[in-house]
Amino acid sequence: MRVEMRARWALVIVATAALVLAATAAARTHSSAAKKPIVIGWAYDNKGPMQPFDTPALAAAKIEAAKINKKGVDGRKIVIKTCKTQGDDSTTSKTCADKLISEHANVIFTTCDVNLATPVVKESLKHHLLTIAPCIGTDLMGPKTFGKAGKLAFSFGNVAQDEGSAMAELAWKHGWKTADLAKDTTINYFGAVVSAFKARFQQLGGKIKYETTYQDPALVQGSTNFHNAASGVEQHPADVIVTVTSGSYGAQLPFITDLRTAGVKTPILNSWAGDGTYWLPKSGPKVTNYWYVTYANAFGHDPNPAVNKLANTLRAANPFNAATGGFVAGPAAIDGLVTAIKRAHGSLVGSKLAAVMEKFHKVPTLSGNVSFSKKLHTVFGRQYRVVEINNNTPIAKGTITAKVVPNSPDS
Walk along the chain (411 residues) in steps of 10 and give the mean pLDDT of each run. 50 47 46 75 90 93 97 96 86 95 98 93 98 96 96 97 97 98 93 96 98 85 87 97 91 95 97 94 94 96 96 94 95 98 97 98 96 95 97 97 78 50
Architecture of the CATH domain 161-302+385-400? 3-Layer(aba) Sandwich (3.40)
User: 136, 123, 132, 122: which is closest to 153 by C-alpha?
Assistant: 132
Domains of the chain, by residue range, sit at 38-159+303-382, 161-302+385-400
Predicted local distance difference test score (pLDDT) of residue 217: 82
Residues in the chain: 411
- CA gyration radius for the chain? 25
Q: At what angle do helices 51-69 and 329-343 cross, to 10 degrees?
A: 50
Q: Are 139 and 115 in contact (CB under 8 A)?
A: no
Q: Are 305 and 274 in contact (CB under 8 A)?
A: no
Plot region of 225 (φ>0 → left; ψ -120 to 50 → alpha; else → beta): alpha
Predicted local distance difference test score (pLDDT) of residue 33: 46
Q: Is the pTM of this model over 0.95?
A: no
Give the count of beta carbons closer than 10 Å to the beta carbon of residue 286.
Answer: 13
Fold: same for 38-159+303-382 and 161-302+385-400 = yes
Cα 259 to Cα 235: distance, rounded to the nearest angstrom: 10
Give the domain 38-159+303-382 fold. Rossmann fold (3.40.50)
Could you tell me whether strands 290-294 and 384-390 are parallel, antiparallel, or unpaired per DSSP bridges? antiparallel
Predicted local distance difference test score (pLDDT) of residue 348: 97
Predicted local distance difference test score (pLDDT) of residue 161: 95
Q: Are 182 and 255 in contact (CB under 8 A)?
A: yes
